Structure 1
Amino acid sequence: MGLIRSSFSFMVGTVFGVYVAQNYNVPNIQKIVNTGLVIAKHYEENYRKPKKRDEDN
């Protein structure tokens, strides 16, 4: 009884997620995250403070 009770919300959420994904235009989250990471890397490379001369050696 405990296993069914504890996994009930997980099963309902999975069924609801499958329904929404099939019937609605859900954006691809992985693509959005990758785009954000590329933009963050670009900003970091362009606006990083220059290294001191002592650190070059």
Structure 2
Amino acid sequence: MGIFRSSFSFLVGTGCGIYIAQNYDIPNIKKLVNTWVFKAKQVEETYRKPRKKDED
């Protein structure tokens, strides 16, 4: 009986996810993450302390 309960929850969740993805404007998560990583790298390079000459 346990496999039916867990698979029912999984199937209902999958069905709801498919419905939401088809009927609503969901942002592309991969694109958002790539944008955040790019912005974080820019901030890091802007505020990073300069390296000393004797450190390699």
TM-score > 0.5, shorter chain as reference: yes
Residue of structure 2 in register with 1:20 after alignment: 20
Q: CA RMSD in A?
A: 1.3
Q: Flag the structure with more relative contact order, 1 or 2, with Cα contacts below 8 A and sequence separation at least 6.
A: 1
| TM-score normalized by the length of structure 2 | 0.81
Corresponding residue SS for 1:55: coil
Structure 2 residue runs without a partner (length 5+): none
The percent of aligned pairs where both chains have the same amino acid is 64
More helix by share: 1
1:51 shift after superposition: 2.1
Structure 1 residue runs without a partner (length 5+): none
| TM-score normalized by the length of structure 1 | 0.80
